[in-house]
Chains A and B, each alone.
Chain A
Amino acid sequence: MNELENEFYSKSVDSKYGKRIKKFTRTKESLIKFFFTINGLAALIFIILIFIFLFKEGFRALEHIGLLDFLYTTRIGADGTSETVFQWYPTSDEPRYSLIPLVLGTLLTAVPATIISTIFGVAAGIYLSEVANPKWKEFLKPLIELFAGIPTVVIGFIMLVIGASFFNDLLHPANRLNAFVASIGLSLVIIPVIASLTEDALHSIPNELRMASYGLGATKWQTISKVILPAAFSGVSASIILGFGRAIGETMIVLMAAGNAANITSNIFLSVRTMTATIAAEMGEVSQGSDHYYSLFFIGIVLFTITFILNLIAELIINKMRKKNTF
């Protein structure tokens, strides 16, 4: 395209007046290019700004509280014995800032949600890409995208008023609002994400592979399970990683349905408190500039770092897959 541009400039009228126009046009074009370049950097600039402002506030927590205090607190009892506790009690007289219960709470909701979503999401992706009638698919794929657009507060609300009672009658959990209810809610959000991305990954496999497999006498399921899925393995795993990232970062569903008690437990039927819900519930009441305030920003750093790394891994996998598939 640049050659064409140069050609345009060289062929302009070569009078004195023409030269002035040429110079003006050239300045104008380069100014416009400069303007778009600045705008083009927007996403990068915002990522850097998010990074800076999270760390700016969050690192003060390290100065005031210390890294080890985010893991455990040593309490000295009345009789002089010391015990190590893992508790999140930022508002008590001797505040305890252990992130362990919050991280465990996040995992206890996100991991089951990702497992459920992987089973349903990958199956739905396979159905859309390989099994469904192409005419149906034109209607069903947008339907799944439509479900992906349901606001998370709506899912949280449904889990709170209907889901919790339903599972309470069915399973009689220890707490009415618990990690299980929250992870079912999370699945409703993540399944469409995984399904949609899995469908993309399977769809990008060249048709020749399917034809070759059928030509060798394989049945439809053999083609899917032995040819298509292995070929799209990286794309499918990227979709699962992205789904896991969504599950960790989701706020409203866990805030409304997980019960918000900072238990250290592996029992999925107990209330838990996630990192996101802690920020959402406590940021409104905390006084700016307090240790508690900075520690909430520190949780933000942890969340940002985890999801950033997960996204980066998924991105690398997808890029690698694209390169491979173009050959």
Chain B
Amino acid sequence: MLELRKKKKDFVGSISIWFVRIMFFSLVIALVLLIGKIVQQGIGSISLEFILDDPKNNMTEGGIFPAIFGTIAVTLIMILLAVPLGVCSAIYLNEYAKDSFFTRIIRTSINNLAGIPSIVFGLFGLGFFILFIGRGMDDVLETGLLFGQPALIWASATLAVLVLPIVIVSTLEALNSVPKSHRDASYGLGATKWQTIKNVVLPQARPGILTGTILAISRGAGETAPILFLGAAFFLPNLPITDLCIGDYCIPIINPAKQFMYLAYHIFILATQSSNPTKTLPIQYGSTLVLIVLTFMLNITAIIFRYRFRKALGRL
């Protein structure tokens, strides 16, 4: 009798375990099929011209270069804003702050910031960056309507707030993994706190900070909702660049006051609001494939970085 019951329970158990296994692999297969479909449909339209050409004929032909350029420009400025702020914030939390009610509030707000819907960031960017800061700058500098309208810099700034938690959390993890003995050794040699952070802690935490930066770029490049009304444009004949001239020497720089095209927004707009969605389907698949490849490459790099970093610290 006892034997029988045991066997029966094992039977139920192994069925359940197989169920879990099947659920997991059906999920993986579904996602792989989905990506496979994008690759299969999109690979035909990928070519050097597709990457490097402007859209032509009311966006029904041609390439996606302005969208790629805009994505790079926006994420570049975003990183310049978010990484210094995020790293310094993490340094405060890990190196200076003591565990108190106040720091717990800060940690909670980091997690909460990560959970705010991206569309709310869009509203925030509109209300704070464009209408408050931008219009405020226009009033003070008397520039008419220059800053108080959707522009690349405001999109970057909003995305910087959105990816800030990613940078902070990655940096915190990296700082936390630097052994306390290394800090003590530095103090023992007579270094001050800042010297210790600068010369001992930060160099060891660099791979972790880099991981956070890469993850932030990939997140920022894939976001669409926050930039919908912060300057992403359907089509622009010119790239958002301007010539910065010092004397006779002119170098082209990104113009942060211009509107821009964005790869993720480009996919959305072609799929839902273009004049002929069926005709542009190859372009849509091509753009999607480019975006997927971009984010996957960034994420894989970040995963490998983190794996090596953790292994080097012997925490794996």
State the A residues within 8 Å of B (CB). 1, 4-5, 8, 25, 28-29, 32-33, 35-37, 39-44, 46-47, 49-50, 53-54, 56-57, 119-120, 123-124, 126-128, 131-132, 140, 142-143, 145-147, 149-154, 156-158, 160-162, 188, 191, 195, 219-222, 224-225, 242, 245-246, 248-252, 255-256, 276, 279-280, 283-284, 288, 296-297, 300, 303-304, 307-308, 310-312, 315
CB–CB B108/A219 < 8 A: no
Q: List 18 A-B contacts (CB under 8 A).
A: A4-B187, A33-B96, A39-B85, A47-B109, A50-B120, A50-B128, A53-B123, A54-B120, A124-B20, A124-B27, A150-B35, A161-B284, A220-B17, A224-B16, A249-B117, A252-B268, A276-B117, A297-B123
**Cα separation A198 to B19 with both chains bound (whole Å):** 17
Residues in B whose Cβ lies below 8 Å from that of A150: 31, 35, 222, 292, 295
CB–CB A8/B192 < 8 A: yes
CB–CB B116/A161 < 8 A: no
Q: How far is the CB of B97 from chain A (nearest CB, A)?
A: 6
CB–CB B192/A280 < 8 A: no
CB–CB A40/B106 < 8 A: yes
CB-CB contacts of B105-140 with A at 8 A, as 1s and 0s? 110111111011111111110111001100000000
CB–CB B31/A147 < 8 A: yes
CB–CB B31/A188 < 8 A: yes
CB–CB A161/B17 < 8 A: no
CB–CB A222/B9 < 8 A: yes
CB–CB B272/A146 < 8 A: no
CB–CB B37/A43 < 8 A: no
The answer, yes or no, to whether B43 is at the interface (CB within 8 Å) is: no
Q: Which residue of the partner chain, among B24, B28, B97, B225, contacts A251 with CB atoms under 8 Å? A: B225
Residues in A whose Cβ lies below 8 Å from that of B215: 149
CB–CB B132/A53 < 8 A: yes
The answer, yes or no, to whether B95 is at the interface (CB within 8 Å) is: yes
Q: Which residue of the partner chain, among B10, B228, B281, contacts A284 with CB atoms under 8 Å? A: B228
The answer, yes or no, to whether B194 is at the interface (CB within 8 Å) is: yes
CB–CB A149/B38 < 8 A: no
CB-CB contacts of B80-112 with A at 8 A, as 1s and 0s? 000001101101110111000000011011111
Interface class of chain A by DSSP: helix
Given A256-B272, A303-B119, A304-B116, A53 contacting B92 (CB threshold 8 A):
no
Residue of A nearest to B92 (CB): A40
Q: How far is the CB of B140 from chain A (nearest CB, A)?
A: 19
CB–CB A154/B127 < 8 A: no
Q: How far is the CB of A103 from chain B (nearest CB, A)?
A: 14
Residues in B whose Cβ lies below 8 Å from that of A160: 271-272
Given A8-B192, A283-B229, A304-B116, A154 contacting B272 (CB threshold 8 A):
no
Q: How far is the CB of B48 from chain A (nearest CB, A)?
A: 23
Q: Which residue of the partner chain, among B34, B37, B121, contacts A188 with CB atoms under 8 Å? A: B34
- Highest count of chain B CB atoms <10 Å: which of A37, A146, A315: A146
Given A36-B92, A39-B92, A127-B23, A1 contacting B284 (CB threshold 8 A):
no
- Tell me the chain B residues, 179-201 only, with Cβ under 8 Å from chain A: 183-184, 187-188, 190, 192-194
The answer, yes or no, to whether B12 is at the interface (CB within 8 Å) is: yes
CB–CB B161/A46 < 8 A: yes
**Cα separation A304 to B124 with both chains bound (whole Å):** 11
Given A42-B85, A283-B122, A220 contacting B106 (CB threshold 8 A):
no
Residue of B nearest to A8 (CB): B190
Residues in B whose Cβ lies below 8 Å from that of A256: 268, 271-272
Residue of B nearest to A155 (CB): B34
CB–CB B88/A154 < 8 A: no
Q: How far is the CB of A10 from chain B (nearest CB, A)?
A: 12
The answer, yes or no, to whether B13 is at the interface (CB within 8 Å) is: yes
Q: Which residue of the partner chain, among B37, B96, B194, B272, contacts A40 with CB atoms under 8 Å? A: B96
Query: Given A157-B267, A158-B38, A249-B119, 17 other A-B contacts at CB below 8 A?
Result: A4-B188, A33-B193, A36-B92, A39-B88, A56-B127, A146-B300, A151-B222, A153-B265, A157-B288, A158-B34, A188-B34, A242-B115, A249-B115, A252-B224, A252-B225, A276-B117, A283-B126
Residue of B nearest to A310 (CB): B115
**Cα separation A41 to B93 with both chains bound (whole Å):** 9
